[in-house]
Amino acid sequence: MKQERKSLRKDTRGFTGLEAAIVLTAFVVVAAVFSYMVLGAGFFSTEKAKAVVHTGVEQTTSSVELAGNVIGHADSEECNGLRNVTLYLQLTAGRTPVDMNKLGIAYTDKYVYNGSLVHSDDTAYDPQHVNTDNVTAPGTWDYAFVPDQTGNPGNGNNMLDADEKVKVFIWLPAEVGDGLGYVTVYNWFQVEVKPEKGGSIAIKKTVPGAIDDVMILYS
């Protein structure tokens, strides 16, 4: 009888040790799963943060940038003020193509603000060659792709691609210069280019003291 009791005690101790091993293994497995979940959540949060930063950069930086000088054109009648502006644009490095037909242009000076100049839809306008005679309505603008060294003006559509440049001609609004229709000497003006996606670029210039028919606006 005593031997039977001893045998039972030994069996109980053996079962308790096995149970402890199972519980310990369960704890290890649960801890491993929990750690994996925490790491996974951390990786997801990191990727989400990267995506948010990337989206923020895309929304705040402009898709286009200046690709040359800003050219001023004087009032054709009296040459006593600035009436037209020509500028050149290209894609910012790493950005996707820009639809030029969805571009917005705003104008500001100390007398007037026009938040959306009209994109000229003159059917006589040649999209490969800017002809100022076809953009004669104040407060309008149009564009033409600049031919490359081989004379190729681009792929023939309205998308500004990475290897292309575009020439934008702007006829200033009639209200500029306090109703004169042109900006007089030493006065500033600002043209804001607003792509469909990304931030806008503001181009602020001052009309020099001497007016020429065509002039580079340095400041």
pTM higher than 0.85, yes or no? no
Co-location of 80 and 38 in the same domain:
no
Last residue of one domain, picked from the residues 41, 60, 79: 60
Q: Do 78 and 164 share a domain, yes or no? A: yes
Q: What is the pLDDT of residue 134?
A: 47
* Range list of β-strands (E), 67-103: 71-74, 82-91, 98-99
CA distances in angstroms from 189 to 72, 132, 178, 186, listed in the order given:
11, 20, 12, 10
Residue 128 φ then ψ, to 5°: -100, -10
Q: Count other Cβ atoms within 10 Å, centred on residue 88.
A: 17
Q: What is the pLDDT of residue 188?
A: 94
Q: What confidence tens digit (pLDDT) does each residue in 174-210 have?
A: 888 777 888 999 999 999 999 998 889 999 999 998 8
Say if CB 142 and CB 130 are below 8 A apart.
yes
- Residue 122 belongs to what domain range? 64-216
Domain boundary residue, one of 36, 60, 84: 60
**Distance from C-alpha of 86 to C-alpha of 103, rounded to nearest angstrom:** 15
Q: What is the pLDDT of residues 30-83, one digit of tens each?
A: 777 777 777 776 665 656 545 444 444 444 466 899 999 999 998 766 667 888
- For residue 64, CA distances in Å to 23, 68, 73, 74, 173 come to 63, 12, 23, 26, 23
Q: Domain with 135 in it: what CATH number?
A: 2.60.40.10
Total domains, the chain: 2
70 with 154: CB under 8 angstroms?
A: no
Bridge partners, 15 (sequence order) = none
- Report pLDDT digits (tens) over 130-183: 444 444 678 899 999 988 777 676 677 888 988 899 999 999 988 887 778 889
